[in-house]
Structure 1
Amino acid sequence: MEKQQEHTDLEKELIQRAQKGNTIAAEQLYARYHNRIFSYLWRMTQNRLLAEDAAQETFFKGIKGLKNYREKGTFKSWLFKIAYNEGLRILKKERKYFWQKPVNENDNENIEVPWQSDGSPMNPTPLSDDVMIEKEQQRAMEAALARLPVKERQVVVLRIHEGLSFQEISTIMNCSINTSLGRMHNAVRRMKKMINKGAGQP
């Protein structure tokens, strides 16, 4: 708890300094959140180049708009709202907004997560049998996640991978809490069905 408070206090200090035009503080905020924002946008767009473009635009708008940031919510949820809007903008531009390209069963082997949920790089060390099984389960979950409608996918990512509350998610996605809960319910149901089908279960 004490470390979390130190983390929050440091972040507040960085924000205040960045709001006053301190470029070093702005760079530290960028370093603090870049991997997580990129990972989120990668899952959203399913395309590394689009995710990189959206991440860069997110931080450009985020740093530029810091003067308008007020502590009504967390800085994290404020920044993820910008990222969400940028992701949607790029998906609309690419004409992928309301549909997801079908994924063939053989594509499961090609789906990789470039960053762990905390934003750190994946560790390429040799894996034990138990870890291999866990990785296969994770791969199946990522494949199912990739097939979800974009808005359902975003609720799962924001809730499970980023640990945001449904209140924060509803603010980010500009919808009601009940809508966020409903999307989460539908997403979990769809994912279970896809994973069970992939494992040969009815």
Structure 2
Amino acid sequence: MNGNGNEPQEELQLIRRAKRGDVKAFSRLYAGIYTELYKFALYTIRHRQDAEDAVSETVMIAWEKMKQLRKDESFKSWMFTILNNQCRRILREQRRRTGADSQNGESPEMEKKLCSEPDYAGQHDVREAFGMLDEDERIIVAFSIFGGYQSDEIGRMTGYNPATVRSKKKRALEKMRKIIEPEV
């Protein structure tokens, strides 16, 4: 947050204040991880408005349930767990809305909408390869890359054991590599 080495202590103070109902403390906590949350949602859902909705819902749920946070040190992973659940809900709704049964669950209209979104990744090939992953693979890679989480943490948030997380992540990254760098 401020780079002076007191960040973990300051964050814990903010968490404790937020648990007591301090809106400003919660806002500062949220502001500190907004970009990571949004990137995770955007890469998982692949639609800007739905990603913004997922983050907004996550923040509302987190604020309402802030007193239920058991371990203050787990605030960030708790937020990502809530966001993961929101993203999964939105993905299910997208599939129901489109009625698509393609590999990624998008109809031609949804695919057109996704392609028209600005390329936040900066590299179209990487974004395209990421989009080719199935839902679980996208979530695991996003937790790892955007959240900076280790396999055991991702496992707790997704319900997989750490070895499964590692193997799914390895397969997903290999799949992406083959898409980005096809053999000649």
Could you say whether these structures have the same fold, taking a TM-score greater than 0.5 normalized by the shorter chain as the test?
yes
Per-residue Cα deviation, 1:77-119 (whole angstroms, up to 9, x for no partner): 1110000001001111121799413899xx98966117xxxxx
Amino-acid identity (%)? 26
Q: TM-score, normalised by structure 2?
A: 0.83
SS of 1:65's equivalent in the other structure is: helix
* Separation in 2, partners of 1:189, 1:109: 27
Residues 94 and 4 of structure 1, relative CA distance in 2, 3 Å threshold: farther
Please, what is the CA RMSD of the aligned residues?
2.8
Pair 1:186-2:171 in alignment: yes
SS of 2:95's equivalent in the other structure is: coil
Per-residue Cα deviation, 1:4-29 (whole angstroms, up to 9, x for no partner): 85111111111100111111111112
* Separation in 1, partners of 2:4, 2:135: 32
Unpaired segments ≥5 residues, structure 2: none
Q: Write the letter of the residue equivalent to 1:93.
A: E
* Separation in 2, partners of 1:4, 1:159: 26
Unpaired segments ≥5 residues, structure 1: 115-134
Q: Write the letter of the residue equivalent to 1:29.
A: L
Pair 1:26-2:26 in alignment: yes
Q: TM-score, normalised by structure 1?
A: 0.76
Contact 1:169 1:180 in 2 (8 A): yes
* Separation in 2, partners of 1:24, 1:184: 37
SS of 2:91's equivalent in the other structure is: helix
Aligned length: 174
Pair 1:113-2:153 in alignment: no
Contact 1:54 1:90 in 2 (8 A): yes
* Separation in 2, partners of 1:4, 1:177: 33
Name the structure 2 match of 1:142: 127
* Separation in 1, partners of 2:115, 2:51: 20
* Separation in 2, partners of 1:111, 1:188: 23
